[in-house]
Structure 1
């Protein structure tokens, strides 16, 4: 809102033009002295008061605040569709500007639903562009609004988006806290399974996998598949299969993981969401790469398809994830230089916010540089990746990174540092450091 002095000037001018006294404008629920304070700029009217005054003066609230007049509903819908198309086509910057322009043309007081739609669109555009800190600020604001006005701001999509962003930022604890609190609320309401509820479960599965809590991830994945089977939306079932396959793969059950992810691929291939299909292909390629009978050439072909699609409909972050996977495929095929090129390009696209994925790229760079004999760069990359994973509470992944660094240090003859790296690995796995004093085993806390 403009400052209270400007609002007061407009109220006084319109009141006088209408031939009304301050008492006339006050009506039965306000006082003439309060109107006097408003006109003097000594009070700021609430949105409810503005609406009352505008009604008595025969104008719109925007006439009192100086905000632009609200655009017609049809015009708003047309421009909203344009913003959505820009976002779906991967042009996040154009989408953000379109949503922002829309929000400037509507009033929160008069058209709150339209205003919040634009706000949600801006948050999605920022997330799509990889500007996660800015996206989280807007999603948190929407989350707060959803508690007070659930009729205007859908709660579950906002929570899912927050959970997704916090995961990418490496704040796994916060992601879990937000999502689990919402699950508890849903259970208390005793509602039946819904598509959006399955999506929340599937998102949370991914966060628990990152943290290394495979038991909770497996439980939620099974629950998501069970609930998805009772709703009529095939996309929900596909998402549940997708996450369950990753859990099985992480637990070493590659055969069942491939079966589930192929079912998910069949479902998504029948839909129109090319971006989601391409991202699912990335996950499929990773299972092919890391299975007992790895198929790096097939994985590279699948990723090539994904990359072509994501460059048309995906964000820069989607492309970065695909390049990260391609780096791993090239590494498996013995093409260390190509792997380094892909990983470095991915890091450039990810920027500073995507800490978890950046950490994985540092580990790929370490392995590729090891293949080229650059041991000094190898140690630096492993340590950086491990520290980033640990800071994100992805302790299981961090433990493997520290262990790999220890092996490199041992091969380089740096035994003391190798022992130190092994200890870091053990600590990440939850083991406290122990040492012998005489015949007594004690622990260092």
Structure 2
């Protein structure tokens, strides 16, 4: 420890302020004469002596040495816990500030592990607040650091977060690239299944579903369930059931999908993560709405319960997803004006970053406005939604959206534009357009 030359003067000043004599300060372990020599600057105290003196004077060690006060590891952990609690309570802005304040107190050279935890926390806060582009920049930096410093930066949670953000931004190819590379590395080392590894599988299932690759999604979902059965964490199994149910639903197997999601609900209901439970209820409500024996009234009740919970513990994006689901339910219940209201609220909360979910809201708006007889607004909203889906590489979903728009245009008597929309649908499905030029058949992509 570096000792300032003015330490003797500080000892004398603090002793006098405390109303102590040199003998009283010396106590049993030191002598009054030694204290006198210290105060005169004729002796340099050891670190142990300084600790004794600081304890007797009731001051911080920094008050004696003149060095900046050091925050203990426990104090760092308290601040990290506070920032995490703020994030879990649905306040990403305050959480970001708490993590940022902590990081500014920390020297990267002295406490790199705390610095990286604060950086990871800020990235998560940005993601929860819907600031996805900013979140991706920080997660990418952390991902790079995790390759060089795996002991300081958790790689798998960072990859999962990147995958989520890229999915929301509509960059499905990049999400798959990052996640698949990490899975390949895990397979290479033949590591035993872990909870975080199963979470990565489950996240990747969702990305493949968005892209329309249901074969790969189904394969990974099966893997996730098998691996989850080998670990003791029930949440891992719940997450695997959750994703597998969505895959089965997309493949038309609604009965089994409901069975799996009800198993997931039973697991999550026993835990304390109210936010995850509410988000799972959103997915359950969509299955109730879209099953062969649709139950829109029950779906509406489930979503209202979910919305109440998410307004307390969820982020603005979580609330937006719930409002999006409510818009679809209101549309099925023939409450077009309520559907429009919910969809517009969701779009406002989503902002410009969440392209895939915004696209779905535009499609709901289109259907609701068409139900109210506003065909022009319906066409505009439908085309915007289709374009956003296509830009996000969700080609299967985009194809259906273009086909629905074609039907709207046909009903409106705009046959030429309807043909154009059908062609867009075929293109998204991977079909090449063919046409005759004289007697020669040619094709173009």
Aligned to 1:426: 426
Residue 409 of structure 1 deviates from its aligned partner by 0.4
Contact 1:166 1:175 in 2 (8 A): yes
Could you tell me which runs of 5 or more consecutive residues in structure 2 were left unpaired when the two chains were aligned. Answer: 7-66
Kindly indicate whether residue 79 of structure 2 is the aligned counterpart of residue 79 of structure 1. yes
Contact 1:320 1:346 in 2 (8 A): yes
Contact 1:366 1:377 in 2 (8 A): yes
Greater mean deviation of Cα atoms: 254-263 or 428-437: 428-437
Aligned to 1:299: 299
**Cα distance per residue 1:134-189 (max 9 Å; x no partner):** 11111011000000000000100000000000000110000000000000100111
**Cα distance per residue 1:56-113 (max 9 Å; x no partner):** xxxxxxxxxxx97652111111111111110110011111000001101111111000
Aligned to 2:60: none
Contact 1:383 1:405 in 2 (8 A): yes
Aligned to 1:362: 362
- Relative to structure 1, the CA distance from residue 112 to residue 430 in structure 2 (aligned partners, 3 Å threshold; closer, same or farther) is same
| Correspondence 1:378-397 to 2 at 5 A | 378-397=378-397
Residue 437 of structure 1 deviates from its aligned partner by 3.4
| Correspondence 1:337-376 to 2 at 5 A | 337-376=337-376
Q: How many residues align?
A: 384
Could you tell me which runs of 5 or more consecutive residues in structure 1 were left unpaired when the two chains were aligned. Answer: 1-13, 19-66
SS of residue in 1 equivalent to 2:150 = coil
- Relative to structure 1, the CA distance from residue 302 to residue 15 in structure 2 (aligned partners, 3 Å threshold; closer, same or farther) is closer
TM-score relative to the length of structure 1: 0.84
SS of residue in 1 equivalent to 2:357 = helix
SS of residue in 2 equivalent to 1:191 = coil
Aligned to 1:278: 278
Structure ID, larger Rg: 2
Kindly indicate whether residue 151 of structure 2 is the aligned counterpart of residue 151 of structure 1. yes
Distance 1:442 1:291 in 2: 43
Aligned to 2:162: 162
Distance 1:430 1:373 in 2: 33
Contact 1:234 1:267 in 2 (8 A): yes
Aligned to 1:195: 195
Residue 442 of structure 1 deviates from its aligned partner by 2.4
| Correspondence 1:19-418 to 2 at 5 A | 70-418=70-418
Contact 1:225 1:241 in 2 (8 A): yes
- Relative to structure 1, the CA distance from residue 16 to residue 125 in structure 2 (aligned partners, 3 Å threshold; closer, same or farther) is closer
Distance 2:325 2:367 in 1: 14
- Relative to structure 1, the CA distance from residue 72 to residue 393 in structure 2 (aligned partners, 3 Å threshold; closer, same or farther) is same
Aligned to 2:49: none
Residue 339 of structure 1 deviates from its aligned partner by 0.1
SS of residue in 1 equivalent to 2:441 = strand
Distance 2:313 2:336 in 1: 29
Contact 1:323 1:345 in 2 (8 A): yes
Residue 15 of structure 1 deviates from its aligned partner by 12
Distance 2:317 2:277 in 1: 15
| Cα-Cα RMSD | 1.6
Contact 1:69 1:106 in 2 (8 A): no
SS of residue in 1 equivalent to 2:436 = strand
**Cα distance per residue 1:30-49 (max 9 Å; x no partner):** xxxxxxxxxxxxxxxxxxxx
Distance 1:442 1:267 in 2: 57
Distance 1:16 1:296 in 2: 74
Distance 1:444 1:188 in 2: 42
Distance 1:440 1:305 in 2: 62
Distance 1:354 1:382 in 2: 17
